[in-house]
Amino acid sequence: MYEIHDIVALSISTIKPLLRQQMFSIPEDNLIFDAYEELAIFIISNFDIPSSHEEYIAKNLGIQTNYLQGSIKTELENHLKNTKGNFSLEFPLRALEVYFSYGKPLDMDLNILMKLKYLISKLHHLVGENYRF
């Protein structure tokens, strides 16, 4: 069974291809890709999702998988695969924001949490500001 931190990794890994599929061509694209890279590197380097957040994440992402029987990663992949249009770009960003809107995770340094929230907000702002959906 996959660890819940795969949700964040999968969400991050879907952002860049989704942006590329839109064939964006404005100069701000590089800012978005840079923000994406910065966020991905920071998350991969600094944390795992604590088990205290698993149920909250699944609920807010609409994932119905039973943790003992199914794969959260597969469920999320199916959800993303069946999502069309602009929402598919917003979904990975919302997935990350959902996780960090639930207060301070257990055993996470406050400085790391604050930087993470900043990087997520920065990326979401760049996407929202440059591509009105």
| pTM for the model | 0.41
DSSP 22-72: TT--STTHHHHHHHHHHHHHHHHHH----GGGHHHHHHHHT----TTTS-H
Mean pLDDT, to the nearest integer, of 45-50? 53
In this predicted structure, which of 25-34, 63-72, 95-104 has the lowest mean pLDDT? 63-72
What is the H or E stretch that residue 11 is in? Answer: helix 5-21
Per-residue pLDDT at 61: 55
Identify the CA nearest to 61 among candidates 79, 44, 47, 43.
79
Q: How far apart are CA 51 and CA 106, in angstroms?
A: 9
Average pLDDT taken over every residue of the chain: 59
